[in-house]
Every structure is written in structure tokens, then in C-alpha cells.
């Protein structure tokens, strides 16, 4: 028995495709899907932080897990090349979401 051939994958950018920078992501979860809301954090004053959400993406639980795996692999490679990434502790004035 011969193994099945891998399909040729073609990446096509839709006309509405955009690239943005996000330094904020919020995650909501329900039984059927994961919702990721991407935004930009700005701080106008010492006591005021605004999060401007600009894109929301729904993922199936399977696709969310696949994303987790891809991010873990890429973060490991990044840290091997550039050093460990340190997050600010929660509640110390920084926002980590």
C-alpha cells in the first residue's frame, strides 16, 4: 500500500487581507469555539490605559490547539536564538493579557 500524497498547499491573500501590530489579545471561550480579540494598548495618563480592539477571530477548539502548538514551537526557537522571554508579574503596573 502506498502512502497518500500530500496535497499542494497554496496560500492566497484575500483582497481584504491586512497586517497589523497587536500588543493586546483577549480570549473568550465557550463550548463551540475560542474568540481572540486583538488590540492596541495605549496609555494616555499614569492611571488611564485604553485598549483599542481592531480584530476578532473565532477558532474551533481544534484550530486553537493547533495554534497553541505552533506558537510553542516558534517561541522555543525564538528563545533558543535570542534568550528567554520574561513577562512582568501580574499586578505590578504592567498589563499582561
Tens digit of pLDDT for each residue in 39-48? 999 998 889 9
Distance (Å, whole) CA 35 – CA 60 = 9
What per-residue confidence (pLDDT) applies to 91? 60
Distance (Å, whole) CA 22 – CA 44 = 17
Q: Is residue 44 included in any domain, yes or no?
A: yes
Provide the number of structural domains found in the chain: 1
Segment 12-28 mean pLDDT? 94
This prediction's pTM = 0.76
All 3 cell numbers of residue 4?
A: 497518500
Q: Is residue 88 included in any domain, yes or no?
A: no
What is the domain range of residue 30?
A: 24-82
Q: Is the pLDDT at 16 greater than 50, yes or no?
A: yes
Amino acid at each position: 500500500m502506498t502512502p497518500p500524497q500530500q496535497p499542494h498547499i497554496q496560500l492566497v491573500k484575500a483582497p481584504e487581507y491586512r497586517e497589523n501590530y497587536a500588543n493586546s489579545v483577549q480570549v473568550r471561550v465557550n463550548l463551540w469555539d475560542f474568540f481572540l480579540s486583538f488590540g492596541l494598548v495605549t496609555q494616555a495618563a499614569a492611571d488611564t490605559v485604553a485598549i483599542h480592539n481592531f480584530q476578532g477571530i473565532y477558532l474551533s477548539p481544534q484550530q486553537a490547539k493547533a495554534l497553541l502548538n505552533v506558537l510553542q514551537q516558534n517561541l522555543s526557537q525564538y528563545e533558543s536564538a535570542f534568550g528567554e522571554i520574561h513577562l512582568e508579574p501580574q499586578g505590578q503596573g504592567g498589563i499582561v493579557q
